[in-house]
Amino acid sequence: MASGPKVEMCKNRAMSRDRRRQQALSSRRHRVVVLALDGVIPFELGIPSRIFGARLGESQETLYDVVTCAAVPGRVDTDIDVPLVVERGPEELATADTVVVPATHRQLPELTEGVLSDTVAETFAHLRPGTRVISICTASFIVAATGMLDGRRATTHWMHAARFQRLYPKVRVDPDVLFVDEGDVLTSAGVAAGLDLCLHVVRRDHGVTVANRIARQCVVPPWRDGGQAQYVEHLVREPAAPTTAAARAWALERLGDSLSLADLAEHAGMSVRSFTRRFRAEMGTSPGQWLTSQRVELARQLLEGTDLPVDSIARRAGFGTAASLRQHLGATLGVAPATYRRTFRPVVR
């Protein structure tokens, strides 16, 4: 066996290469790899590039590097009459900080039988430990088949939630939300909820201000109220039915004021009982819970985007006192206002 100075020199060179590789990884931009499986839905395939690849500011900089790969490089069929040609293969997943899996309409065993196919298993084997994984719509079935969602909350399109729970009983399926953030694994509801989830990830990574800027570029709301309940067929209202939209818009302009349920109902021209029932049907939550969530969201924006004292933010957001703000922020996010501000203040680039 070889030994001595030459072996030490080789070891030192190898260590130097490893250090350079680690430095390159730490200095580069966050890399998002989108996995296009056969039968992919083009709309959902395009969401990650549109959100994470958004160009910001006068210098048109991007915050993420976004690439697309396939389980097998080459032709990838879609659910429309236009196929794709994807040049990158599954080895790209080994370079990813975040992997996004859009939904597919192909009858894969992950979606029909709750079984992990060899192709998906071999593809996901390239993932590095700690890689963040995001699924859009029914791609949650594919992520669940790998076992990554066992014992965790997840969501999917409301039309497929019952089947999702039946095929993957170890997953705690929540059919009422637009997305679920479990830290390193995130799942979204159907189609456009992929926009909500990707904007949430940007908000988590870079703060409210950046996420709002991207949302404006895409002409979509930076945050949608309620959950999937508002889209389930039996809850869709007739066009002539009264709506709570005007009252919600009115309240959003007055979050710092003392707003009662009676105030909201009066502005909507309904009784309190009718307003409460209609509000829950439209938004999937109660007026009080919605109002609190909007105030928390405003407080988050002010904590991230201003230098206002916590007392002032509490008053502007309608909580009245810093103690009340701490209580609600702690209950919702699990952190105090000062801690949140230190963690999520937007990065200056």
Give per-residue pLDDT as tens, 272-293: 999 999 998 888 889 999 999 8
Tokens 């979509």 correspond to: 220
What is the C-alpha to C-alpha distance for residues 228 and 247, in angstroms, rounded to an integer?
21
Percent composition of the chain: helix, strand, coil (DSSP 3-state, to 5): 50, 15, 40
Two tokens at 159?
């039309």
Give per-residue pLDDT as tens, 27-38: 478 999 999 999
Supply the pLDDT for residue 235.
37
Give per-residue pLDDT as tens, 164-200: 999 999 999 998 889 999 999 999 998 899 999 999 9
Compute how many other C-beta atoms are within 10 angstroms of the C-beta atom of residue 136.
32
Contacts of 286 (CB under 8 A, 6+ apart): 276, 279, 280
Supply the pLDDT for residue 281.
83
Q: In the beta sheet, which residues pair with residue 104?
A: 40
Give residue 59's pLDDT band: very low, low, confident or very high (50, 70, 90): confident
Give per-residue pLDDT as tens, 297-340: 899 889 988 889 999 999 999 999 999 999 998 888 788 999 88
* DSSP 8-state class, residue 186: E
Q: How would you list the strands of the sheet with 132-135, edge to edge? A: 64-70, 30-36, 98-101, 132-135, 185-188, 179-181
pLDDT for residue 15 is more than 50: no
* DSSP 8-state class, residue 159: G
129, burial (CB in 10 Å: exposed 0-12, middle 13-18, buried 19+): exposed
Phi, psi of 199 (to 5 degrees): -65, -35
Two tokens at 63?
């915050």
Q: Taking CA 104 as the corner, what is the angle to CA 100 and CA 109, rounded to the nearest 5 degrees?
A: 105
What is the C-alpha to C-alpha distance for residues 334 and 340, in angstroms, rounded to an integer?
9
Contacts of 100 (CB under 8 A, 6+ apart): 32, 33, 34, 35, 47, 48, 134, 135, 136, 198
10-14, 137-141, 206-210, 327-331: range with highest mean pLDDT: 137-141
State the amino acid at position 7 in one-letter form: V
β-strand 84-86 against 64-70: which pairing, if any? Answer: unpaired
Phi, psi of 163 (to 5 degrees): -70, -40
Give residue 231's pLDDT band: very low, low, confident or very high (50, 70, 90): low
Supply the pLDDT for residue 226.
59
What is the C-alpha to C-alpha distance for residues 289 and 295, in angstroms, rounded to an integer?
10
Two tokens at 90?
């599954």
Contacts of 17 (CB under 8 A, 6+ apart): none
Give residue 345's pLDDT band: very low, low, confident or very high (50, 70, 90): low
346, burial (CB in 10 Å: exposed 0-12, middle 13-18, buried 19+): middle
pLDDT for residue 134 is more than 70: yes
Supply the pLDDT for residue 60.
78
DSSP 217-274: HHTS-SS--S-GGGGSGGGPPPTTS--SHHHHHHHHTTTTS---HHHHHHHHTS-HHH
